[in-house]
Amino acid sequence: MNTQQTPKAYDVIIIGAGATGAGTARDCAMRGLSTLLVERLDFTAGATGRNHGLLHSGARYAVTDGESASECIKENMILRRIARNCVEDTGGFFVTLPEDDLDYQKLFVESCHKAGINAEAVDPKLALQMEPAINKDIIGAVKVPDGAVDPFRLTTANVIDAQRHGADVMTYHKVEDLLLTNGRVHGVTLRDARTGELKNIEARLVINAGGIWGHEIAAKAGIRINMFPAKGALLIFGHRVNNIVINRCRKPSDADILVPGDTISLIGTTSSRVPYDSVDNMEVTQEEVDILLREGMQIAPSLAYTRILRAYAGVRPLVAADNDPSGRSISRGIVCLDHAKRDGVEGFITITGGKLMTYRLMAEWATNMACEKLGVDAKCETAEKYLPGSEPENREEREKSHTIALSTEQLAIEGRHGSLSSQIPKDINDDAMVCECEKVSVGEIKYAIDKLHVNNLVNLRRRTRLGMGTCQGSICACRASAIMSKRFGQTAALTDLESFVNERWKGMRPVAWGQTLVEAEFSAWIYEGVCGLGNINEKTICDNK
């Protein structure tokens, strides 16, 4: 196949549209660099969209990794200010159970204070009053400034702001190769996932923000990055079990964080090393489900009889030696590599490691390095400038303009999009609900298609939470598909619908018992019997009864 040469050249091309890549595109564009953000799939398709959504106070790392803890609390405070529409200030507790070492609590509080984290030991009885879901047998509790953050909203807001500052964005374009001449990277070869077309795009600098896939990207320039693919599995419960983040006060281990977010709660995570060839197809095992449920019940006993909606897993982009089988002891610190100094390859930077909480700082480090290499003198302003949807003056104006009480549906939509919700169509037809579980309207779907790079139902789920509620898409997916068909055609919409239903089933399968199995059978009846989709694997459903 012929490769087309794209006439436009950029100062910088950023590979990977997770939070770090999106944040780097925003920072580069804000500093006046002509910027292209490329992603092989969709925003947040990697680790960014597969974590527990914890707004880390840094307390979890205080004892074992003080530097990361300090970075977390600083970024925690920044995000509360610039990304308030993506953040919920739940607060957090670290609790000590009878089988835990109470002496560890003292070390924990001291370590938090050294890292600049406001950690306060409180009476366990007070903790139970504030959060009744906590195990009533606790013997210690420490209050910390944890919270919840929506990684989908956060990443999308960064992409929107990058575009506002002139950045271009290309999703579903995979980097097939790096353009490398005389030891210098000067662009990328992209393959359009939809057409198969190849195109070369030139740039003065390429930034690798590919997460766990970053080692593959670096290898295209003959560079080795020793990445440690650490899989983490999580469970989503059918309602908010807790309203305050609950952590177990011990060294990081399996299933020691229960995070409330939107309409659900999440328990996580496990940690195990996996082979590179499996990172594109993470499945949760029955053993992992058992560990998460057994350990989770220790901090919140009601999990024993709370419906599990689904299980999912992501892969942490850690960088380390090969002497830690779990990855627990590896620092979550930021790794920013100038490959000219490290490997003798000019025009190429890798930003990796870190965590969702430090994405903005990672972007700042990478952009600082990019500006230095390109001779650009411009300071970072991403810690001061509000992200789209989180502008406080717009929020105050909206609140003043509300002369009547908003409906639950309107509140949900404004909660997701903040000041951007003013762009959502609101006539009588657009107000109709498509997803009752998450209060997603026809107008919101139209807005997502027009403004938020939505090309399929999975994209739509990440932008609006459609299909993420109790029914897992049983009712709303076909409604949304009907709306999508008007833009993308009926055949494409039906194919997409089948793919979306199977994607939902993949997460339900490891926990397919009780009401979740009933929901799966109901979905199969709707989509096979009513909609005529023929490729839902009935045998797998029956095998799990």
**CA gap 214, 381 in Å, rounded:** 26
| Residues 96, 47, 218, 38, CA torsion sign | negative
Strands 257-261 vs 184-192: parallel, antiparallel or unpaired: unpaired
Are residues 405 and 477 part of one domain? yes
**CA gap 515, 55 in Å, rounded:** 30
User: In angstroms, what is the C-alpha Rg of the chain?
Assistant: 23
Are residues 476 and 464 part of one domain? yes
Are residues 180 and 211 part of one domain? yes
Are residues 131 and 248 part of one domain? yes
The residue assigned the tokens 């930077």 is 349
Give the H/E segment covering residue 478.
helix 476-488
In this prediction the pTM is 0.93
Query: Would you say residue 432 lies in a domain?
Result: yes
Strands 264-268 vs 227-237: parallel, antiparallel or unpaired: antiparallel
Query: Would you say residue 78 lies in a domain?
Result: no
**CA gap 48, 214 in Å, rounded:** 14
Q: Which DSSP letter does residue 510 get?
A: G
pLDDT at 331: 57
Are residues 437 and 366 part of one domain? no
Query: Would you say residue 466 lies in a domain?
Result: yes
For residues 172 and 159, is the Cβ–Cβ distance under 8 A? no
Enter the tokens of residue 465. 């939470």
Are residues 511 and 471 part of one domain? yes
Closest CA to 373 of 530, 185, 196: 185
Are residues 436 and 416 part of one domain? yes
Strands 198-208 vs 10-15: parallel, antiparallel or unpaired: parallel
**CA gap 109, 120 in Å, rounded:** 7
CA 191 to each of CA 37, 170, 222, 348: distance values in angstroms, whole numbers, following the listed order: 14, 11, 20, 20
pLDDT at 152: 97
Are residues 296 and 164 part of one domain? no
Are residues 338 and 312 part of one domain? no
**CA gap 112, 69 in Å, rounded:** 8
Are residues 217 and 363 part of one domain? yes
Query: Would you say residue 464 lies in a domain?
Result: yes
Q: pLDDT tens across 51-107, in order?
A: 999 999 999 999 999 999 999 999 999 999 999 999 999 999 999 999 999 999 999
Question: Can you give the CATH number for the domain in which 120 is found?
Answer: 3.30.9.10
Give the H/E segment covering residue 87.
strand 87-88
Closest CA to 273 of 224, 218, 212, 222: 212
Strands 433-435 vs 440-441: parallel, antiparallel or unpaired: antiparallel
**CA gap 1, 293 in Å, rounded:** 50
Cβ contacts of 186 within 8 Å, gap of 6 or more: 179, 180, 202, 203, 204, 347
CA 472 to each of CA 517, 524, 531: distance values in angstroms, whole numbers, following the listed order: 12, 12, 17
The residue assigned the tokens 């070492």 is 101
pLDDT at 332: 62
Question: Can you give the CATH number for the domain in which 26 is found?
Answer: 3.50.50.60
pLDDT at 542: 35
Query: Would you say residue 453 lies in a domain?
Result: yes
**CA gap 420, 475 in Å, rounded:** 27
Query: Within a 10 A sphere around the Cβ of 407, how many other Cβ atoms?
Result: 11
Are residues 459 and 435 part of one domain? yes
Query: Would you say residue 15 lies in a domain?
Result: yes
pLDDT at 404: 46
Tell me the residue range of the domain where 306 lies: 88-147+228-319
The structural domain count of the chain equals 3
Q: pLDDT tens across 158-175, in order?
A: 999 999 999 999 999 999
Query: Would you say residue 493 lies in a domain?
Result: yes
The residue assigned the tokens 């359009």 is 192
pLDDT at 131: 98
Are residues 340 and 401 part of one domain? no
Write out residues in the chain with pLDDT < 70, as ranges: 1-2, 6, 320-332, 393-406, 534-545
The residue assigned the tokens 């199969």 is 524
Query: Would you say residue 75 lies in a domain?
Result: no
